[in-house]
Structure 1
């Protein structure tokens, strides 16, 4: 067929359908990892996470069961003025036995400071940078990561971002019962996760429960310990933390959330503790989106939304970040299915690089609350500039080049007059004893 004719037909179809010239990329194959020849005592899968005010949790794994859970650290390369002793755990899953999983909290640390550290008294030196104490602060956001070629592309693009904390709303390794994939995922993300704190919550691919044989979330809880105790939570599946002037709440889509649940009670108590003078921005993350105009996973977040949305609205949550749907979508401010200037902006970013491919079928016409949607792999960046303004941008992985396809300024609800106790109903629900 004449190439000119093919090109003409493509142009006519594009004009007729009103679509852009963006071609959605196909899924990429899973990454292949070489055999690990490191000594059994050398730290592997190193990652860090925030652990309360001015403290950081360093996590790593060794094959040697006798390796110490010690972190040496300081502000100069090779000079460790401080030492911290931590704890360790391990787990077995069917025929798999994990290595020794070390968790060591270091601090107190200075804000916006680079520290050099070594795990277990041997192995390579790592370095991390602590988040700032005040605005501006930048978050990199990517969910549903997996271990594919697109995952690698997303990580490479995030590495180019000047960010302070990585947020991941569920579906990390896509191990799905094959426990060795948790190990390869840990190695894959180590270059980034050892340098900036990764704050994660669980998704459906973290469940891994086998009826009568294995409980759910064993590997996730053992490997990715978050500051739940520091935030008064009884479960690693939901917790909160603060960075600069932002209070962040990580909720669990796959643990009980009705009004009689522990998670609901904890959320209510945590929201009541938020001081909007100290932390004017309030963000919430969980896995299953409440506002989703994609045909994939349609309606799966309804029950959690019915249980908890009024609490978030009453507290004046600014932004909600979710994953699960393998596409990007940004809403306008919305509450109870209707546009509301005091509602939250909902972002779906479940397309970090999973092996299942993109969810490209959307419901038409586009709902009134949906502002931008696109099936693409990529990551988001949220730069909270000050107490009133934040800049959100979505960066798609287009032919391995980062392309910013969506950007918007967001005003905080604190600056919009929405927290002056003028709203009826939901605010009373939050404040009720």
Structure 2
């Protein structure tokens, strides 16, 4: 049975057949992907098929939305027409567009691939908890989006390591049954893995959901797509999935934060520098120092590689980031940490420094949205004392934050109906627990210590 890594090379080889320079590039590509360690997983469901069909060049495709600062939303889409305007018309009634906004566009090339015109347009200010109707580029179909509420309750849907398989479709179908406000994804989106047209098919696959609710994502290892001397890391990811990094004073699309309805969420990068001398570490300290737990009593963090993982897969890969960053998150009183990467589900107690701690964060691994590599079934025995629930299953999670003190987390397996919960727990925020600095003592003084 062929390795999935070799399949990447064979697929790219077909695209470059007969081109000597391309063959040289593909040889380098094969050396890169074959140097990546992998482990044996059970066979997954088939990769989805996307039959080609001719579309009008100005037709908006791969439409997805994301939060872009207070009361604003970023609409992103792709057109084949390089002259199509980056304009979004919108309003609160169907086909009655009272407002319009013009944005920016970009393109990129990768080996022999050239992208369409990628548009990013910010609209707003928008009313909270309101249905809007919008049209991209002055042509094409009308889309609908719903803005998040400004107050509790608010519901997040979470799924990592999605890919484009039958399991992915099942996960998306389950999420579509959930009444959620925002989707969060801790890395590994398309599993394009150097084959750039797979970014296009992924955008097509998720458009029905991603055009209707904000998708807030961060990068995973499958987004890197670096080829030494030929292609930089994260070229497609940064071009297609622009997040509100500038709005949160970050210098990189690989890490940022956003606030909504009493929740401050930080999206970190597992694959960019995170040591104490890095830009990401400096930004994180500054961002944490601005958090007001009276205004946002819930503090969430997402990144790709888990720090607390009792699965045999990817053991120890998050240790360096954990050593550098965990003290900051603990000092700030982070409530929940979500990660992907490991293709199985696991939930911890509140934990810090390798053991249960009532003032630590709950760590949840959700790297099993539907990837093509299969599940990671082997767990370490005995189960660590901090690990509460673990199982190898495809699915998604739902976090309903009911009020300033209580949230309800549930895990939903794709094997079951969406209402069936394989794991569920009520979680109490640390904002009223006594774990945080006393009122009047600035958090800045804690997280900014050398």
Q: TM-score range by the shorter chain?
A: over 0.9
Q: Residue 297 and residue 87 in structure 1: after superposition, are their counterparts in 2 closer, same or farther (change >3 A)?
A: same
Map residues 131-210 of structure 1 onto 2, 5 A cutoff: 131-210=148-227
* Correspondent of 1:213 among 220, 230, 236: 230
Q: Distance in 1 between matches of 2:197 and 2:141?
A: 23
Residue 129 of structure 1 is matched in structure 2 by 146
1:4 maps to none
Show structure 2 runs of 5+ residues with no match: 1-40
Which position in structure 2 is the counterpart of 1:355? 372
Structure 2 counterpart of 1:328: 345
Superposition deviation, residue 428 in structure 1:
6.0
Range moving further from structure 2, 397-406 or 58-67: 397-406
* Separation of aligned partners in 2, 1:41 and 1:195: 21
Structure 1 equivalent of residue 250 of structure 2: 233
Aligned-partner SS, 1:403: coil
**Post-superposition shift, 1:420?**
3.2
Question: Does residue 50 in structure 1 map to residue 70 in structure 2?
Answer: no
Contact 1:157-1:402 within 8 A present in 2 as well: no
Q: Give the TM-score taking structure 2 as reference length.
A: 0.89
CA contact (8 A) 1:315 1:427 kept: no
> Judging changes above 3 Å, is the alpha-carbon distance between structure 1 residues 430 and 120 closer, same or farther for their aligned structure 2 residues?
same
Q: Find the partner of 1:119 among 123, 136, 156.
A: 136
The answer to whether structure 1 residue 407 and structure 2 residue 424 are counterparts is yes
- Return the offset for 1:346: 0.1
Partner of 1:307 in structure 2?
324
- Decide whether the 8 Å contact of 2:311 with 2:376 is kept in 1: yes
Matched, 1:391 2:411: no
Aligned to 1:79: 96
Q: Does 1:40 align with 2:34?
A: no
Count of aligned pairs between the two proteins: 407
Deviation of 1:421 (Å): 4.5
SS in 1 for 2:174: helix
Give the alignment partner of residue 420 of structure 1, picking from 434, 437, 440: 437
Deviation at residue 432 of structure 1 after TM alignment: 2.4
The structural deviation recorded for 1:431 is 3.6
Distance of 1:429 and 1:188 partners within structure 2: 44
User: What is the CA-CA distance between 1:25 and the residue it aligns to?
Assistant: 8.6
Q: Distance in 2 between matches of 1:99 and 1:398?
A: 37
Residues 315 and 401 of structure 1: is their aligned pair in 2 closer, same or farther, counting only changes over 3 Å? Answer: closer
- Match of 1:151, SS state, is helix
List runs of 5+ in structure 1 lacking aligned partners: 1-23
Q: Distance in 1 between matches of 2:71 and 2:445?
A: 34
User: Which stretches of structure 1, 4 residues or longer, exceed 3 Å deviation after superposition?
Assistant: 399-403, 426-429
Q: Who is 1:13 aligned against?
A: none
2:279 is aligned, of 256, 262, 267, to: 262
Q: Which residue number corresponds to residue 93 of structure 1?
A: 110
